[in-house]
Structure 1
């Protein structure tokens, strides 16, 4: 990491913001640039100074949360969003990842994992912990959860299939590049091309495509 990661916190409960601030204190490469306690303040501060990573709570896990996430990602496509929530329901997690979250953490998460997620989102665009893997991969085995996605499968070549499998195993870009003897930049390019090819907007969507078309077997 060559520069400080500018982190912003959005949570209406001050004790949670204070806890994250303390957990990130003295961590390498992290600078908390502002906090917001509601959506109005969040919108205003995003316009004034856009962070690299936004750690955002969702109080209402329904349609409003999805709409807010989509609007933020549309206006700030390079912003990494980590959902920080009290909810550990698989359907909520899957929807948040599908609609653009780069990571999903519960409020039981310790400081070490929060830090790991921030770095992973900056380096690899996403962070899949055990909870998210379970929600996205295993939940999607149910026919009712996947039948509406990607009705027209496309063919992936052997290299793309290998990278897709390694992504599902929670490998970082650097680990994938070492395993298949390609540069990290080439791995990232192939990953982006796969998303474009299958019509997925996120890594979660790419994995859903793999499950739907039986390319991945969790």
Structure 2
């Protein structure tokens, strides 16, 4: 059985190259191609592929925005991001979203197929060339946790809410994602502010964004 794949990249020549690489493996079958983020979302929702390979930079919606939308809909499509950038923030956001693969465009065709095979099993794969970025990320997380011991006083639910706040989500959006009422979210927000000695929404949002790495 082959895994169904949607490929999304706004550069036609590069996208056709991806298609040839993926079709060279008997494990995968291309079911659709997209040239922008909006089209990618529509095709993924309509076709429900096993895997979607997404360029991080596309018109309408970038690869991370597409990933966020697909995750929000609860689809089981495994997502693999292709990028030209060794950027810590992009990698952080991809991992936060639950993206299964994160591969540099400069990598070999074999590595893309490896990432897709991991994704097909529900496992994660990050390009070895990003190992230095991962090391920096772990060091930052460790430093954040050391600098903010008060984070340890938060419950798992409070940490999840604080992480969602760091993505600038409203109480309504958080409630819908966590299946709790807006009033319950607001109560948790008040408890978080009390534990962290924060006053007001702006202070809470600023803290959440600054310390997002320590909330994993």
- Shorter-normalised TM range: 0.5 to 0.7
Runs of 4+, deviation exceeding 6 Å: none
More helix by share: 2
Please tell me whether Structure 1 or Structure 2 has the larger radius of gyration of its CA atoms.
Answer: 2
**Where does residue 152 of structure 2 map in the other structure?**
152
Structure 2 spans left out of the alignment, 5+ residues:
164-212
| Compared CA separation, residues 92 and 133, structure 1 to 2 (3 A) | same
Match of 1:78, SS state, is coil
| Compared CA separation, residues 47 and 84, structure 1 to 2 (3 A) | same
**Where does residue 77 of structure 1 map in the other structure?**
75
Q: TM-score, normalised by structure 2?
A: 0.62
| Compared CA separation, residues 25 and 113, structure 1 to 2 (3 A) | same
Asked if structure 1 preserves the Cα contact closer than 8 Å seen for 2:9 and 2:36, the reply is yes
| Compared CA separation, residues 149 and 121, structure 1 to 2 (3 A) | farther
102-111 or 20-29, which deviates more: 20-29
- 1:23 shift after superposition: 1.4
Higher relative contact order by CA 8 Å / sep ≥ 6: 1 or 2? 1
Match of 1:152, SS state, is helix
RMSD value, Cα: 3.8
**Where does residue 46 of structure 1 map in the other structure?**
44
Q: TM-score, normalised by structure 1?
A: 0.61
Structure 1 spans left out of the alignment, 5+ residues:
155-194, 202-210, 214-218
Q: How many residues align?
A: 163
